[in-house]
Chains A and B, each alone.
Chain A
Amino acid sequence: MIKMILKRFGLAAATILGASLFSFFLLRKLPGDPARLIGGDLADEQTIATLRQTMGLDQPFPLQFWNYLSSSLHGDLGFSYSTGQSVGTLVQTRLPATVELGMSGVFTAVVLATVFGAVAVYRKKRGADILLRAASSLAMGSPPFWLALVAILLLSVNLGIFPGPEGRLSPGIAPPPTFTGFYTLDALKSGQFGTFFDAVRHLILPAFTIAVGPFAFLSRLFRSQLRNTLREPFIVVARSRGLTRGSVFLHHAVPNSLLSLIAVTAMLVAEAMTGSVLVEKVFGWPGVGSLTVDAILQKDFSVVQGVILLSAALYVTVSFLADVVYSAVDPRIRAGVK
């Protein structure tokens, strides 16, 4: 077990190193000159040369990369040129909003995919199965940002059930005191139930929009996994011991099939990150996604580099953890049995 963890850890470290090298190369070495980007089109050659020197762009590439890597590892991701704040602080203030949204989205997707997948497999009717596959194909085909706009038009503008694209809280409502940075949890902790309900109301539409992509993917996976599990000998054994079909399904087949969902957690996180960039823009959600989009349009170099590196690191960390948890929960993986 420990050997396996160490091996996976080495692999994860190598991947992060590769990812940072790749993003560094892409952003520093491709045609666009960072000094020119920051200085602007009107800056004279002298200014650009000074900028290149202060940014260390005149040093050889390996040295530049080394400097970048060592300062990143010390938590220094550089400064944002448009706001003057450090990238670390910027990301820190925006991260809770994105994580709150992303986690609610992924959670919604997992619950919906498990419930609908289980129902579709349990009811042997073809109709339920066809319905699930159709829903998943549609979900896979729908552009999340478009879906978000349609949802706002129908449910918020026309019916007034949900608030419009105004961010995390209604205007005039003060954010709760910060503990976790998640407005829902913080409001509950400080007993501000009005704020809590407002935060939840603002969270529902964005979270559902983020959930669409992962739901499409997960419901397929869970359905096929569940059908495979139901063919295994231990299901027959359980049935022959006299357990009802429902009991075997709920207590044996479903938990075993849920295991497979752990392995794709990392992919889900990536999906949620991608979805969040788009959904944040539509809903005016003040998270990392909208920070990135603004930074790119304003050519704010260090912010983009920092966010990209962090998202890669997040992905690698989550997939590493998923592997460890998976092998801890399922002894077959540990023993190398397929």
Chain B
Amino acid sequence: MVAVAAESPIAVSRRRIVKGDRVLVAALSGLAVIAVAVVVGPWLWHYDSNAVDLAAQLSPPSIDHPLGTDNLGRDLLARVLLGAQTSLGAGLVVVLAGAVLGSVTGLLAGALGGVVDSVLTWLTNSILCFPSIMLAMAVVMALKPGIPAVVIGLSIHSFPWYMRTIRGEVMRIAAQDFVKSTNAIGATQMRILFRHIFPHLVSTIVLQMAAVFGAAVLSLAAMGFLGMGAQPPTAELGAMITEGQQFFLTGQWWLVAFPGLVLLVAVTLTTIIADRARELLDPRGEYIVAD
């Protein structure tokens, strides 16, 4: 949310609600811990994520290597920290790209209507009939395997959700009296759209971003798992699970367990936060969580 300089009564009541919701506070703190660990961790932890130590191949979790090592003797904690940075960072890029693209197209479709609206709606309907992973695969095929291609594919798949929501909201708000009166004063279309309508959409956009972040991170990891996302030796949680798969079933459980658990915890926390935030900020709206 945008910071409010002099605290309005609404902001005060919101703050109280946030304080009273223990689950939300717990989830937010959990995510904050993960975020700090992921951003600062790789610098603090004394092992390098790609330092090969053949003497310590596949060693189980110990004091020296809290999460164990992989088949090349690389420290798993260092790799999980860096891998989470890659996964969550790329997820953030997908969410931001989707939000920007979706806001622009949504504003255009909602404000202009007519042919622009029909064409954009048709285009987004067409995009949405591909499963997200299929679309990402097609982009990987057209470009080359790697995180950039996957991020592009997932961003293309995520923007229609924003567009739909924003288009509807713009149409709803544009019909209200304060917009008509602003128009009567002589404000330009652009000014009305960006100064008067857009601020009302910020919370909608933020909520939608929170709702799709988890799905984006999971899809990214899935693409990494299929060998189409991050390429070795880049540490990425999904790709790490693939690398550990062959050892996992023969007893080296830590190679797959830890990257997966980090994914599980991070995505579950964001899902809970998105849920609670929606109930707080927008009790009437139901947001669709993309696959």
Contacts and interface: CB of A to CB of B under 8 A. Distances in A.
B235 interface: no
Interface in A273-317: 273-274, 277-278, 281, 292-293, 296-297, 299, 301, 304, 307-308, 311-312, 315-316
A262 interface: no
A81 to B, nearest CB: 13
B245 A149 contact: yes
Given A141-B271, A153-B249, A293-B226, A31 B143 contact: yes
B118 to A, nearest CB: 10
B25 interface: no
B221 A143 contact: yes
B87 to A, nearest CB: 10
**Residue from B123, B142, B257, B289 whose CB has the most chain A CB atoms within 10 Å:** B142
Given A141-B214, A149-B241, A152-B249, A304 B137 contact: yes
Interface residues of B, number: 52
A177 B150 CA distance: 41
A18 interface: yes
- By CB atoms of chain A within 10 A, which of B214, B222, B272, B289 has the most? B222
A160 B128 CA distance: 41
Interface stretch (B2-10, B69-77, B166-174, B260-268): B260-268
Interface in A129-161: 137-138, 140-146, 149-150, 152-153, 157
Nearest to B257: A150
Contact of A23 (B138, B144, B228, B263): B138
A107 interface: no
A15 B225 contact: no
Given A143-B222, A143-B238, A274-B291, A150 B143 contact: no
B138 A308 contact: yes
A19 B245 CA distance: 35
A142 B264 contact: yes
B227 interface: yes
B22 to A, nearest CB: 12
A267 interface: yes
B141 interface: yes
A197 interface: no
Interface string B267-279: 1111110010000
Contacts of B130: 19, 23, 308, 311-312, 315
A311 B123 contact: no
B129 A15 contact: yes
Interface string A244-286: 0000000000000000000000010011011001100100000
A292 to B, nearest CB: 7
A22 interface: yes
B141 A296 contact: yes
B143 A274 contact: no
B272 A312 contact: no
Contacts of A162: none
Nearest to A221: B286
Contacts of A146: 241, 256, 259-260, 263-264
Contact of A274 (B122, B131, B142, B260): B131
Contacts of B140: 296
B183 interface: no
Nearest to A311: B134
B143 A30 contact: yes
B125 interface: yes
Contacts of B134: 273-274, 277, 292, 307-308, 311
A311 B131 contact: yes
Central interface residue in B134, B137, B248, B266, by most chain A CB within 10 Å: B134
A137 B275 contact: yes
Contacts of A149: 241, 245, 248-249, 256, 260
Interface in A28-51: 30-32
26 contacts: A16-B129, A18-B126, A21-B126, A23-B138, A27-B142, A30-B139, A137-B275, A138-B268, A141-B265, A141-B269, A141-B271, A145-B238, A145-B241, A146-B256, A149-B241, A157-B249, A217-B289, A224-B286, A273-B131, A274-B131, A281-B226, A299-B141, A304-B138, A307-B134, A308-B138, A311-B131
Given A296-B228, A311-B134, 12 more contacts: A26-B142, A30-B142, A137-B272, A140-B289, A142-B264, A213-B291, A271-B291, A274-B134, A277-B134, A277-B222, A308-B135, A311-B130
Interface of B: 122-123, 125-127, 129-135, 137-144, 214, 218, 221-222, 225-228, 238, 241, 245, 248-249, 253, 256-257, 259-260, 263-272, 275, 286, 289, 291
Q: Which 5 A-B pairs have the closest CB atoms?
A: A18-B126, A141-B268, A146-B260, A30-B142, A141-B267
Interface of A: 11, 14-19, 21-23, 26-27, 30-32, 137-138, 140-146, 149-150, 152-153, 157, 164, 213, 217, 224, 267, 270-271, 273-274, 277-278, 281, 292-293, 296-297, 299, 301, 304, 307-308, 311-312, 315-316, 319
